[in-house]
Each structure stands twice: as C-alpha cells, then as structure tokens.
C-alpha cells in the first residue's frame, strides 16, 4: 500500500481527464460552430462525441494492458516496433509542448479582456513566463501538490458551466432552433468543417494514460476513467450548445463571447462575469494538466532508451526533474513567440498521429500479444476501432493543406531525430521490455 501513497486515485484521474479536455474550446467555439451550420451544430457535437467514444474505447483497451508511462507511444511501440513508437511518442511530446505554450498565451490573452495591462506585450510575456516556470516548479515539488491543485481547479471550472446549464435550460426558446441551417439549405463542406472545429474541444483525453506510473492501479483505473471522462464531457458539451442556441438563437453566430452573452440573457451582467471567471479558471486548469502530463511523455521515451535515459531520472521529490526542466525550456520560447492561433490549429490535426495508431494497435495486439491481460476489451471485434480509423482519416481531410502539413510535418522531422537519438544512446543497454504488464 505504501507504494501507492501520494498517487492519483480513480476520481483524481477522472478530474485530471476532465481538466485536460474542458478548456477554452467549449467557452469560445459554440459561436463558430453555429455560424457554420446553425442549430445543427448540436448534431455535430453528438457526431464528434461518438467518434471520441469510439477512440476512447480503443484507448481503454490499450490502457488496460499496461501500467507504465507512455500512452499512445507505448501502444504503438508494442504493436509496431521502436520506430513507429518513437514517431508517435515524439509527436506526443512535441505537440504537448506546443499545446501548453499555446494555452499559456491563451490565458494571458483572456486575462487582457478583464485586466487591460495584460494586453501590453511586455506584461503579457511576464504572465506567460510566470505560468510556465511557476507550474514547472509546482510539478517538480511532487505529485501530491499537482493532484490537489488539479482537483481544486477542475471543480472550480465546472461550477460556472453547471450554473450555465442548470439555469439556462429554463430560458430556452423553441423558435431559436429554426431554421436548422443558417441559410435554410446545406452548404457542402460545412458539416466537416464544423466537426473538425468542435473536435478541438474534445482533445486531451489521450493524455490520461501518459502518466500511468503516477496513478494507483493504472491498468484497472485508466480504462474506467477514460470512458467516465468522455461521457461526462460529451453530456456537458451537448447541453451547453443546446442552451447557447436556445437562448441566443441567430445572435449566437455573431457573438465573440458566446457563453458570456448567453448568460446575460438569463442572469444579467453578473452572469457574464461568472462565465469570464470560468474561462480563466478553465484555461488555467488546462495549463496545470499540461504541466503535469507533458514531461511524462519524455519519460516514457527515455525509459526505453529512445532519448537519453537521464531525462527519466527523478529528483528528491520523486518527480522527473530533467523531463520537467526540458519541457519548460522548450515551451517558454514557443509561448513567448506569441503565435497562438497557428499553434492551436496545428495541435488539432497532429492529434490524429496518436489516435489512428492506437486504434490500429488494439487490432494488432489482439493477434500479436494475446498473452497480455486485458482489463477491458472493445466489443464487436475490430468493428469499432476500424470505424474510428476511417472517420478519423476523413476528419483530417476536412482540414486545410496548411494545417495538414504543419500538423503532421512533425512525423518527418522525427525521422532524423530518431536515428540521432539511437546513436546517442548506442552505448546504453537495449530498450527495456519491462513496460509490459506482468500477469
């Protein structure tokens, strides 16, 4: 029992997952989805929820086989070997760093709405630096501190969303749901564009399994936690979009702060303040989750000798000191570059470099490693993983050429990095296979 002291229990894992998913997206995207496809945007959220559930079922089965750090990297490595595993792991670490940098900038930008000095570039950079360096220090000081902070922030961000849904549902007007489409007719490509846009609000669920070693009974808790997290978030998103459409109607598409404007309709100015506070807490929560999960992606690669092994070493507080330091060192200059819009767009497409290999790995590992104990198995054979793969590829094709090139370009960059790192660690022992679960 002592070995589990200070580690994340089931509900702390669930809160970490919710914190990692519910961020700026659900506060800021309802208007953009409505402008593309009107009230039918509620159907788009349901479509994305079904896609994410099919993906999370694959993650749940894969996560139930292992109890080591790595997540998508670990699954790809076991199914397809070191090179594919490294590509997925490299993308995971790189994109997690980019996403954290983007969220740090997003917090400073959102703060500028309620505190004018934050709009000054110098002040903005100071805020970004405090966020990244400060959370790096908190992360270094131990899992227990990160766990407590994560739980408090997650609950705090859900309160304004719960108020929005619980009160706003009584102010919905049926007439606001017609016409179902903005111009009365369907315009080609709008469903795909809206689905890709809204999908951003669901990203982050894959990060749960990355920090498995910091969790109690990860091979049992991760599958249950992933499914619990997605069901909770999906229900929240559908209800939030329904209230937003039902209270603002056609005005939703033109709103720049959709949930705040909707709340004004049934609570008044104080409601907008509550939602704005929720936005800041939410983005702050995403930063906390990112600071915890991102270094663990590097630890998984280092443990298997695909990058220098010293990166996985832990310090006096039992946390991966070098992984945290390097993550902060890479994230800070990216954040100070200020290119939030492009970094956020890249992160959406790049996620599928983790989703598709994981769904494929589930099918492959069933034949390749039938000896692995499975705490959860996706029903209906390969049907659900195959559907997840096909729909994921279709969704990527809805992105622009620039998003695809930048989003998946890291796979090409990873090729020379892989061979460089293999050469760097040539003198070290062969990659360990101890990450497999012992029956």
Cα separation, 200 vs 196, whole angstroms: 7
Q: What is the pLDDT along the chain (439 residues), one digit of tens a residue?
A: 445 556 777 887 787 778 778 876 777 678 888 888 899 999 999 999 999 889 988 888 887 787 765 578 888 989 999 899 889 888 888 888 888 888 898 888 888 877 889 989 999 999 999 999 999 998 888 766 666 766 677 777 788 888 899 999 999 999 999 888 877 777 888 898 889 888 888 887 776 665 556 667 776 777 788 788 888 888 889 999 999 999 999 888 888 678 888 888 888 888 888 888 888 887 887 788 788 888 987 887 788 777 788 999 998 888 899 999 999 999 999 888 865 666 666 777 888 998 999 999 999 999 998 888 877 788 899 999 999 999 999 999 888 888 888 788 878 888 887 888 777 656 544 444 444 443 3
Cis before 292 (ω within 30): no
Three-state DSSP state, 8: strand
Q: Where are the domains of the chain?
A: 8-424
- In the structure encoding, which two tokens stand for residue 69, read together? 């750090």
* 322-372 pLDDT, tens digit each: 999 999 999 999 888 865 666 666 777 888 998 999 999 999 999 998 888
**What's the pLDDT score for residue 307?**
79
Three-state DSSP state, 436: strand
Which are the contacts of 266, defined by CB distance < 8 A and separation ≥ 6?
167, 168, 170, 171, 247
Residue 24 contacts residue 104 (beta carbons within 8 Å): no
**What's the pLDDT score for residue 210?**
57
CATH 1.20.1740.10 fits 8-424, yes or no: yes
Cα separation, 292 vs 294, whole angstroms: 6
**What's the pLDDT score for residue 317?**
85
Distance set, CA 196 to CA 11, 42, 43, 46, 349 (Å): 30, 14, 13, 13, 9
Cis before 179 (ω within 30): yes
Helix 41-63 to helix 190-199 angle (10° resolution) is 50
Compute CA 237 distance to the chain's CA centroid, rounded to the nearest angstrom.
15
**What's the pLDDT score for residue 265?**
85
């Amino acid at each position: 029992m002592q070995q589990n002291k200070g580690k994340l229990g089931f509900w702390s894992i669930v809160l970490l997952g919710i914190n990692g998913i519910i961020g700026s997206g659900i506060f800021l995207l309802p208007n953009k989805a409505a402008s593309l496809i009107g009230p039918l945007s509620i159907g788009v959220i349901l479509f994305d929820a079904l896609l994410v559930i099919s993906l999370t079922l694959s993650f749940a089965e894969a996560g139930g086989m292992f109890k080591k750090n790595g997540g998508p990297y670990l699954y790809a490595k076991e199914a397809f070997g070191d090179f594919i595993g490294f590509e997925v792991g490299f993308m995971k670490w790189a994109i997690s760093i980019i996403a954290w940098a983007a969220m740090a900038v997003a917090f400073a930008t959102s703060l500028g709405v309620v505190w004018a000095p934050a709009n000054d570039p110098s002040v903005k950079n100071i805020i970004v630096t405090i966020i990244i360096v400060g959370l790096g220090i908190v992360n270094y000081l131990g899992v227990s501190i990160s766990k407590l902070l994560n739980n408090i922030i997650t609950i705090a961000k859900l309160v304004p969303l719960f108020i929005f849904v619980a009160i706003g549902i009584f102010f919905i007007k049926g007439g606001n749901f017609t016409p179902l489409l903005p111009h009365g007719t369907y315009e080609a490509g709008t469903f795909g564009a809206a689905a890709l846009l809204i999908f951003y609000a669901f990203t982050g669920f894959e990060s749960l399994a990355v920090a498995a070693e910091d969790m109690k009974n990860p091979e049992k808790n991760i599958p249950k936690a992933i499914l619990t997290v997605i069901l909770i978030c999906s229900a929240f998103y559908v209800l939030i979009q329904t209230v937003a459409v039902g209270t603002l109607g056609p005005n939703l598409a033109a709103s720049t702060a959709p949930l705040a404007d909707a709340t004004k309709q049934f609570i008044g100015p104080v409601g907008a303040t509550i939602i704005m506070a929720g936005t800041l807490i939410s983005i702050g929560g995403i930063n906390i989750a990112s600071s915890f999960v991102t270094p663990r992606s590097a630890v998984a690669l280092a443990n298997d000798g695909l990058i220098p092994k010293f990166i996985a070493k832990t310090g006096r507080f039992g946390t991966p000191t070098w992984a945290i330091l390097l993550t902060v060192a890479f994230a800070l200059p990216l954040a100070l570059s200020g290119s939030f819009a492009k970094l956020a767009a890249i992160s959406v497409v790049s996620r599928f470099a983790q989703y598709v290999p994981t769904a494929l790995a589930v099918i492959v590992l069933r034949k390749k490693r039938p000896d692995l104990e499975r705490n959860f198995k996706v029903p209906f054979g390969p049907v659900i993983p195959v559907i997840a793969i096909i729909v994921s590829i279709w969704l990527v094709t809805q992105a622009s050429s620039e998003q695809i090139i930048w989003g998946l370009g890291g796979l090409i960059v990873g090729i020379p990095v892989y061979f460089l790192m293999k050469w760097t660690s040539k003198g070290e022992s062969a990659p360990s296979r101890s990450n497999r679960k012992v029956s």
